[in-house]
Every structure is written in structure tokens, then in C-alpha cells.
């Protein structure tokens, strides 16, 4: 049975990808990280040596601390965080336990460089519809909960990316873009090592709606309709993104938990 100061990888895997996921802090030493330079989805690397310097930034958050085996480094770091009034738990079995269970892990070299506040910054075309809402949702839920998204005039995306140190996506001739029949969301799922059945199903929905191949997914027309409706409701791209995150939260939970559930309108009329 787990301690109140520890969380199992099964429970954590159910939280990752949802709006209620805890902040994940990877405190593996450099040697252990070099042996497997991947991160549990959403995790940020920090050193246990200066925990008292960054603990104040975690106040008010739920935190899971991850080390190699879930022992001294994470135990000590989590204890110091709790002394700073942070609700901190340790991942049972650590990074090794997570990977032994064959759960998704993100290659660290695929994550863009962070800004001075520790955030990844991304830029794409303004007036998003499908891919440009789906990709930010994936990034916020599985890569960087603090990610910043810039929506700019299409012709200025690459120049803004260069001047402001942002990563361009969903435009032609950049790494994070369509590839053949795959849309940008497909590419991100694969490159970030997130190819789980729920995300693969969601990727098919996004691809079908984004590329006009609605026959690929029975749910795609609904996603397309909702996406176009949101684009008419909001003039502000960031407000539309906030609303779109809830939409993709719902579709993800359906893909993960509810694909076999049906709904009918029951009646209690007594047959004559």
C-alpha cells in the first residue's frame, strides 16, 4: 500500500494528460539522466542540491518528485518541499520503475530550450482551428504545463521565432509540421514518444478533421464542427485556446475511458 507521501506509477499515469496532473520534478543526477535522457511526460529537471532555492516557486502546487529509484534523492527533496508548505510526493520506483512498466517517456532533446522563466515558447499562425489548438493542448498536458503560445501573422511566424527564441509549428518547412499524410499533432505524438492507444485514437480524429478526410474517424465531424464553432465564438486566439483546451480534455478522456460507453434516452413507461 502506498504511503501518503508516495504515489504509484499506475495512479500517476492516470493523472498525466489531465488538467489535474501534479507538477513533476525530475531530480536524477546527471549520470543517471545521461543513461536514459528521457523524461516522464510533463516533468522538469531540477537539482536536489538547490531545492531550497526553487521550493518557493512550487508553493500551492501538488508536486511529484522523481529520482532514479524513488529512494533517497526524491525522499529528501520531497521532505524539504513539504517543509516549505508544498504538497509533495515521491514516485514509487522512480524513473526506473516507470520505464520498466513501459509507460511513455519523452526524449529530452526533443523539448525546445526554455526561456528565462523556465517555459517553452512556441509560435504559429493566428486564427487557429484544429491542429493549432490540438498541438498546444498536447504540449500543455504532456510536455510543458507552462508553455507559452504566440499566434502571429502567417508571414511573420519564422521571423518571430528567430527574434524571440520561439519554436515554430504547423507551418511549412519546419520540424514540427505536417509530414506526408500526417498532421502536426501526429508528428508531435510520435516524436515526443507519446504513442499510446488513447493519443493515437485522438490523433486520427485530429488528422481526419484537419485534413478533410472525415471518413478516417466517425468522431471527426463532431471535432470539426466544435472547432469551427469555437473559432467563430472568439476573436482573441488565446481565449479560443483556453476554451479549446477543455474541448480536447473531453475528447482525450473519451478516447481513454469511454469509447465503449453508449447513451440512450431511457423511458420508464409501463408497457400495456
State how far the alpha carbon of 246 is from the alpha carbons of 112, 152, 182, 226, 249, in Å.
25, 23, 24, 11, 5
Domain ends where: 45, 77, 104?
104
Domain ends where: 74, 104, 134?
104
Residue 268 in any domain: the answer is no
Q: Which domain holds residue 241?
A: 111-258
* 87 and 192 part of one domain: no
* 116 and 80 part of one domain: no
pLDDT tens string 233-261: 999 999 999 999 999 999 999 999 999 99
Task: Output the pLDDT for position 23.
Answer: 97
* 26 and 83 part of one domain: yes
Q: Is 130 helix (H, G, I), strand (E, B) or coil?
A: coil
Closest by CA position to 37, among listed 115, 114, 106: 106
Closest by CA position to 85, among listed 64, 61, 54: 61
Task: Output the pLDDT for position 81.
Answer: 96
* 229 and 144 part of one domain: yes
Total domains in the fold of the chain: 2
What nine digits make up the cell of 185?
Answer: 499533432
pLDDT tens string 192-205: 999 999 999 999 99
Residue 174 in any domain: the answer is yes
Q: What is the pLDDT along the chain (272 residues), one digit of tens a residue?
A: 456 799 999 999 999 999 999 999 999 999 999 999 999 999 999 999 999 999 998 988 999 999 999 999 999 999 999 999 999 999 999 999 999 999 999 999 999 999 999 999 999 999 999 999 999 999 999 999 999 999 999 999 999 999 999 999 999 999 999 999 999 999 999 999 999 999 999 999 999 999 999 999 999 999 999 999 999 999 999 999 999 999 999 999 999 999 999 888 776 666 65
What nine digits make up the cell of 80?
Answer: 524539504
Residue 169 in any domain: the answer is yes
Residue 271 in any domain: the answer is no
Residue 272 in any domain: the answer is no
Q: Please say whether the dihedral angle defined by the alpha carbons of residues 9, 11, 17 and 20, taken in this order, is positive or negative.
A: negative
Rounded to an integer, what is the distance from CA 153 to the centroid of its chain? 25
Name the pTM for this structure: 0.94
Task: Output the pLDDT for position 1.
Answer: 43
* 88 and 143 part of one domain: no
pLDDT tens string 83-96: 999 999 999 999 99
Task: Output the pLDDT for position 263.
Answer: 84
* 136 and 66 part of one domain: no
What nine digits make up the cell of 32?
Answer: 543517471
Amino acid at each position: 500500500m502506498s504511503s501518503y507521501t508516495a504515489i504509484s506509477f499506475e495512479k500517476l499515469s492516470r493523472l498525466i494528460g489531465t488538467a489535474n496532473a501534479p507538477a513533476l520534478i525530475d531530480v536524477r543526477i546527471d549520470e543517471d539522466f545521461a543513461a536514459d535522457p528521457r523524461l516522464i511526460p510533463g516533468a522538469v529537471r531540477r537539482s536536489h542540491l538547490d531545492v531550497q532555492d526553487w521550493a518557493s516557486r512550487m508553493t500551492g502546487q501538488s508536486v511529484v518528485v522523481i529520482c532514479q529509484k524513488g529512494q533517497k534523492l526524491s525522499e529528501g527533496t520531497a521532505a524539504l518541499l513539504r517543509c516549505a508548505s508544498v504538497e509533495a510526493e515521491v514516485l514509487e520506483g522512480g524513473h526506473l520503475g516507470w520505464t520498466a512498466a513501459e509507460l511513455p517517456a519523452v526524449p529530452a532533446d526533443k523539448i525546445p530550450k526554455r526561456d528565462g522563466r523556465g517555459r517553452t515558447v512556441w509560435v504559429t499562425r493566428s486564427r487557429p482551428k484544429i491542429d493549432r489548438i490540438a498541438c498546444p493542448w498536447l504540449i500543455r498536458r504532456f510536455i510543458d504545463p507552462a508553455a507559452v503560445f504566440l499566434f502571429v501573422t502567417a508571414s511573420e511566424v519564422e521571423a518571430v521565432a528567430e527574434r524571440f527564441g520561439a519554436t515554430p509549428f504547423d507551418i511549412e518547412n519546419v520540424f514540427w509540421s505536417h509530414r506526408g499524410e500526417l498532421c502536426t499533432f501526429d508528428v508531435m505524438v510520435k516524436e515526443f514518444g507519446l504513442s499510446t492507444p488513447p493519443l493515437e485514437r485522438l490523433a486520427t480524429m485530429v488528422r481526419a478533421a484537419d485534413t478533410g478526410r472525415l471518413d478516417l474517424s466517425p468522431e471527426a465531424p463532431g471535432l470539426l464542427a466544435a472547432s469551427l464553432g469555437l473559432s467563430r465564438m472568439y476573436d482573441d486566439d488565446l481565449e479560443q485556446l483556453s476554451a479549446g483546451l477543455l474541448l480536447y480534455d473531453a475528447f482525450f478522456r473519451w478516447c481513454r475511458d469511454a469509447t465503449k460507453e453508449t447513451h440512450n434516452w431511457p423511458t420508464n413507461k409501463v408497457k400495456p
